[in-house]
Structure 1
Amino acid sequence: MIQTGNYNRLTVQRIKDAGAFLDDGKEGILLPKRFVPKGTKVGDELTVFVYHDSEDRLIATTQHPKAVVGDIAFLKVVGNSAHGAFLDWGLMKDLFVPKSKQISPMRLGGEYLVHLYIDTQTGRIAASQYIEHLLSNEELTVKEKEEVELIIYRETELGWAVIINNKHSGLLYANEVFQTLQVGDKMQGYIKQIREDGKIDVALGKLGYNKVEDEATKILRLLEEHNGYLPYHDKSEPEAIYNFFGMSKKVFKMTVGKLYKERKIALTKTGMQLMEKS
């Protein structure tokens, strides 16, 4: 069963001048010659992405699109027509967004969050701006402290609404964000709390001391790059710490404390000093 709009593992049925034909139980799906891996022969299995070409025929490619059917992605408009817009999704044929699936007219050069789906009438891959109905917290597939994939959805009064694993909605609080975010950004995060009403609070990065380990490496590297001394301490302004280290003051203090206990750094009144290795 061929999955249009996704990756398939298919067997090479025959090889012609046009390329390799892959077994689909019928006459075969063409993998154009320019995408056929060197040395490919009949009987080999290849992982390919299958979609429709400009003549509405199924075609295969070894290219990797920016998203597959079921994904939510942030894509750029590269063309418009009377019937809809065309998005760059990393393949030769652009991705179509019907006008009926646009919240407002998409402008050329603009970037938008869209959901990829299979049009039931044509069987072709298309995209839609309507995402809300796809997100539900009624039956959760995540749990607290679990690491998840986040997409920044929109800014709110409290912070940022996010999409969790392409399935759920969550909230990232503004006072816990120490970097510039934009709609469409894909981030690693974790589930901080699942409330009784099903609402989910998330945070960026890794949980607890896994994150501290990552930041510890960064601080040691920065010390080495600055002759073993940095003028930052627990009284430094949070903004100054974030601008230099790219971390919150809370994480900075946790990390510095850990490094001090491990005797990797010494603390002074004006900053921190890298300890010499014995």
Structure 2
Amino acid sequence: MAEIGRINTLAVVRESLAGVYLDGGALGEVLLPKARQSELASSIEVFIYPSADAALVATTKRPYAQVGEFAWLTVSEVNQVGAFLDWGLDKELLLPFAEQKYEPKVGLRVMVRVYLDNSQRIAASTRLDRYLQHEAEEYKPGQQVDVLVADTTDLGFKAIVDNRFWGMLFHNDLNTKLSKGQRLTAYIKRVREDKRLDLTLLPPAAEQVPQLVDQIIATLKEHGGYIMVSDKSSPETIYSIFKVSKKIFKKAIGVLYKQRRITIEEKGIRLLKD
């Protein structure tokens, strides 16, 4: 079933002077303006949204967020109607006054959730807590999730997990700089007793070590069989080269040492000849 505010794959029905009409199911025929049937396949991926006169239209452009998703968008205009946001389409996204948690300023960015109001109009809201849950019991440690960095705190970064829950990335667990609006792959570090999510950017050790073993060998070969990084190097140095924690690095070179593929020296590691 076709949905307003979402990407849909719709069949081509007929052509007119205005463009091509697509089969929107219960929504009726939806116009894809200025398109020509000869240029299209029998079905096409489009985003459906209300035009200025409330008629539904389709576009092959993709917005920065669909209905039900969150995005870090730039404020392009503020007037008596509300604020308008650049979300990647010609028609800008309305942020109504009632959905403004704080006063938006032109040129600045706001974190919003895109929603469909009672009149089937697509709009945005900065009242994120209305759409996100703090408690999440369905996740397990090590599980991969998609996150959007939403806010900063003294402890770290609040992140939106899978468009449904709040999670936390702590400064102590980060070896790289983050900024609001970044979309990342993260992992569940723990589900706390209060059912809230602690996140990490590092995959579980079981997945990291085999990949890192291959990466270390490849790096050694690229540098003539020796690199100046060892189990005595700083965590920052190790992360800058291999993007892993010192703990994982030590496990990986331990595997290689036991396999007699490397020697571990005072200031580096050396590849042994086969």
TM-score by length of 2: 0.88
Partner SS, residue 255 of structure 1: helix
Equivalent residue runs for 1:27-176 within 5 Å: 28-34=29-35, 38-40=39-41, 44-120=42-118, 122-138=119-135, 140-176=137-173
Distance 1:85 1:180, change over 3 A: same
Indicate yes or no: 2:13 matched with 1:13: yes
Shift of 1:222: 3.3
| Kept in 1: contact 2:82–2:97 (CA 8 A) | yes
Secondary structure, in 3 states, of the residue corresponding to 2:39?
coil
Q: Aligned letter for 2:2?
A: I
Q: Which residue of 1 is the match for residue 2 of structure 2?
A: 2
CA RMSD of superposed structures (Å): 2.4
Partners of 1:135 and 1:168 within 8 A in 2: yes
Q: Using a 3 Å threshold, how does the CA distance of structure 1 residues 261 and 8 change in structure 2: closer, same or farther?
A: same
Identity within the alignment, %:
37
Q: What are the equivalent positions in structure 2 for 1:222-237 lying under 5 Å apart? A: 222-237=219-234
Structure 1 portions without partners, runs of 5+: none
- The structural deviation recorded for 1:33 is 3.2
Question: Is the CA contact (8 Å cut-off) linking 2:133 and 2:166 kept in structure 1?
Answer: yes
Q: Conserved in 2, the CA contact under 8 Å of 1:35 and 1:61? A: no
- Cα deviation, residue 238, structure 1: 1.9
- Shift of the 243–139 alpha-carbon distance from structure 1 to 2, 3 Å rule, reads closer
Residue type at the aligned position of 2:251:
M
Q: Mean alpha-carbon deviation: is it higher for 182-191 or for 54-63? A: 54-63
Matched, 1:266 2:263: yes
Which region of structure 1 is more displaced relative to structure 2, 23-32 or 124-133?
A: 23-32
Cα displacement string for residues 25-79 of structure 1 (whole angstroms, at most 9, x for unaligned residues): 5762111235878343xxx232321112233321112222221100111122223
Question: In structure 2, do the counterparts of structure 1 residues 246 and 37 end up closer, same or farther at CA, with 3 Å as the change threshold?
Answer: farther
What is the CA distance between 1:168 and its match in structure 2?
A: 1.4
- Where structure 2 has 5 or more consecutive residues not aligned to the other structure, the ranges are none
Deviation at 1:140, TM superposition (A): 3.5
> Match for 1:55: what amino acid?
D
- Cα distance 1:128–1:204, how it changes in 2: closer, same or farther (>3 A)? same
Q: Secondary structure at the match of 1:256?
A: helix
The answer to whether the 8 A contact 1:188-1:205 is kept is no
Counterparts in 2 of 1:213 and 1:11: CA distance versus 1, 3 Å:
same
1:244 aligns with 2:245: no
Tell me the distance in 1 between the aligned counterparts of 2:81 and 2:28: 32
1:234-270: CA deviations, max 9, x gaps?
1112222233333322222223223333444332222
| Alpha-carbon distance in structure 2 between the residues aligned to 1:179 and 1:266 | 29
Query: Partner amino acid for 1:4?
Result: I
Question: Shift of residue 217 of structure 1?
Answer: 4.1
